[in-house]
Structure 1
């Protein structure tokens, strides 16, 4: 007897003949197996559901429901469908044997039977059943291992993509920051001198006008040609406009440095509002009126937040992905409205809310839009690598997958999404301090 049959096996004997049950029971117990007995189909089904035998020896001719119907009901029941069934019959008609095999039996024993034959067939089918179960278990284990390997590979790929992006971005921003800072500093410094020079020249002209109230014809002609009065009025405005431009360049340079800080190796203390503001600064051009699409209003409802220990550059990348996706959603919404000739009746709004939970010592960032929203089947897959609803060339499907990894794996936080089709989407990010 093989090892797998040395453990206790339960055989359900189903026969309306008590003598047959007695003979079979003695033979089965002689092999070290346990015999369960039933004299009709109904009680056989009930015992099979309750006791889960390893094999069923089933008589064909019984009162009530016969063996064929009993077998069909056992095979239709999810609890008993995998139990091997061997038919016992006094019939030798090949048609009955084919019918039994077609409805799910694994073998046939013809009465009168030899005990040795019965035991041999029982051993064979118990062994086959054991091998089948073992194979299924091994397949499940192997499938699970492969699934884990695929997930680990995807995670590793995302980490490599993330590291490469942040490294490249950090180098790019460092170079851009350096390139911007030098001319901006030059312009800022010179603008101060130009403003002083212009004021001095205007004072000189005013003094000339006071001292020489009656200039000759050539001077009058030149004053009229250059429109001196307009120049005197417009020069301060031009200088103020240049000042705003230089300030804007400084803000962009500062936002770039804040957005993509080189902080890969260790966490640092960081104020989340700085990251949100720098992200919005970099996306400012996309928030403006785009012709077909009205401007997007940003409503920032910030609470007092303590700084948190984190990787600022990576968090900012999450903010960038979510807010940029919201802008894309507004673009799609207005393209749809144009195609359907639907009037625009609401203000495009992205609302950013932050809060601090004292008891949990966590910070929450909520980014919500009132754009398209997502169907349930899309929302359930948004964090999967390579899943995207955008046209070819418009999206990689990695933005939210990387965002999930940054929040959950890198920062031990949570990121959740609520979305209602036709009403909007909301992302909630919770981070430990």
Structure 2
């Protein structure tokens, strides 16, 4: 991937006005944004305020030379990955080697030539961007592997929990049956016996209802987890797939105050769908996690609504899934780039910039659907997906 000058900022650290003027003219003509520092200490101050994509660093400067400046930059975890190209009038091998040992990626000898300078700047910006994106891909793959491991673990735990749940349900059924035995019916005719029988019946009903609820949750977890591991094309209920995913999110995000509500507006509530339930679960979990992370302040939470309906008139025969939050919204200038790989405004919150790109790819390429996003600052964000009733094999 080539680095675009319009997206790149270069910090020039140089004390000679003529060199500053020449470097600025060469780089600005190609569209690079420029920051300037006239000595090493000022360069560190600029770095604290503006993060450049590359640094052109003069070696010979008063107060703090380029070697010491480079050493301090590379000592900072925040700045050490910024590529540095030394500008030097020296051509001695020792100085060049020292620069590389301190972490510089290249050097340009003075007097410099515009074509050589631009070629080196462009090359190292492109290499830096490719290296950064490769690291993000590795992290994303590690995250996917972690999700698969968690899904396998959840499926296994769900299977194991079914046995004690069956025992609990059987015990509750036995308790209910014993209450109907003649001896218990006779005992219940006494004042104390009646109160005891009513309490036991209420306890048995409570156990049974909650055992059934727990069993359904376990089945939901197991189904979603297995689907995410295997993800085969199958005919299923779209409404049930969404409800199962929402239940899984509610359980895994129990500490979050975010409320997720699912509304099924289909005339035929089941919503028969032939597609990939595991992939759809991945999309919905990603959208819900984004709302949890970005839409609302940490620890505050809010409301997210998911609606399932038939595609409106004029659309191909299929389903529409709407995911809507009421949080802080997305700035208008960022909306066109939401589905771009690696674009994120939340790196400080752990965002890799791949989540929404993956969502877009799954919906459009894998499930042959469409996805659109709208947002208003201070009012929230709405994601609308259209899925065909039958996803082509």
TM-score by length of structure 2 reads: 0.55
Other-structure match for 1:232: 197
State which of 269, 279, 284 in structure 2 corresponds to 1:314: 279
Q: Aligned to 1:256, what secondary structure does the other structure show?
A: helix
| Post-superposition CA distance 1:209-239 (Å, at most 9, x none) | 4xxxxxxxxxxxxx8xxx6554333222222
Residues 332 and 302 from structure 1, CA distance in 2 versus in 1: closer, same or farther, beyond 3 angstroms? farther
CA–CA separation in structure 1 for the residues paired with 2:238 and 2:298: 30
Other-structure match for 1:426: 382
Instruction: Report the alpha carbon displacement of residue 319 of structure 1 after superposing the two structures with TM.
Output: 0.6
Verify the 8 A CA contact 1:289 1:296 in the aligned structure 2. Answer: no
State which of 385, 388, 406 in structure 1 corresponds to 2:342: 385
CA–CA separation in structure 1 for the residues paired with 2:351 and 2:164: 35
Residues 330 and 274 from structure 1, CA distance in 2 versus in 1: closer, same or farther, beyond 3 angstroms? same
Unaligned runs of 5+ in 2: 1-28, 30-112
- Equivalent positions of 1:13-162 (< 5 A) are 153=134, 157=138, 160-161=141-142
Unaligned runs of 5+ in 1: 1-77, 79-130, 210-222, 337-346
Other-structure match for 2:46: none
Verify the 8 A CA contact 1:166 1:314 in the aligned structure 2. Answer: no
Verify the 8 A CA contact 1:354 1:363 in the aligned structure 2. Answer: yes
Verify the 8 A CA contact 2:237 2:272 in the aligned structure 1. Answer: yes
CA–CA separation in structure 2 for the residues paired with 1:427 and 1:156: 25
Q: CA RMSD in A?
A: 4.4
The answer to whether residue 184 in structure 2 is matched with residue 202 in structure 1 is yes
Which range moves more in the overlay, 241-250 or 198-207?
Answer: 198-207
Residues 306 and 139 from structure 1, CA distance in 2 versus in 1: closer, same or farther, beyond 3 angstroms? farther
| Post-superposition CA distance 1:39-59 (Å, at most 9, x none) | xxxxxxxxxxxxxxxxxxxxx
Residues 234 and 398 from structure 1, CA distance in 2 versus in 1: closer, same or farther, beyond 3 angstroms? farther
Q: Aligned to 1:332, what secondary structure does the other structure show?
A: coil
CA–CA separation in structure 1 for the residues paired with 2:238 and 2:128: 36
CA–CA separation in structure 2 for the residues paired with 1:132 and 1:197: 94
Other-structure match for 2:57: none
CA–CA separation in structure 1 for the residues paired with 2:198 and 2:158: 35
| Post-superposition CA distance 1:173-226 (Å, at most 9, x none) | 22112111111111112221121123325313036x4xxxxxxxxxxxxx8xxx
Q: Aligned to 2:297, what secondary structure does the other structure show?
A: helix
Q: Aligned to 2:180, what secondary structure does the other structure show?
A: helix
Instruction: Report the alpha carbon displacement of residue 147 of structure 1 after superposing the two structures with TM.
Output: 9.5
Q: Which has the larger radius of gyration?
A: 1
CA–CA separation in structure 1 for the residues paired with 2:144 and 2:202: 46
Other-structure match for 1:250: 215
State which of 372, 375, 382 in structure 1 corresponds to 2:331: 375
Other-structure match for 2:305: 350
Other-structure match for 1:169: 150
State which of 180, 183, 193 in structure 1 corresponds to 2:161: 180
The answer to whether residue 289 in structure 2 is matched with residue 301 in structure 1 is no
| Post-superposition CA distance 1:365-420 (Å, at most 9, x none) | 2111223322234545544438353865x766554343234334433443322110
CA–CA separation in structure 2 for the residues paired with 1:239 and 1:271: 32
Other-structure match for 2:367: 411
CA–CA separation in structure 2 for the residues paired with 1:332 and 1:302: 33
Q: Aligned to 1:422, what secondary structure does the other structure show?
A: coil
CA–CA separation in structure 2 for the residues paired with 1:287 and 1:167: 18
Number of corresponding residues: 273
Residues 288 and 149 from structure 1, CA distance in 2 versus in 1: closer, same or farther, beyond 3 angstroms? closer
Residues 300 and 359 from structure 1, CA distance in 2 versus in 1: closer, same or farther, beyond 3 angstroms? closer
Other-structure match for 1:26: none
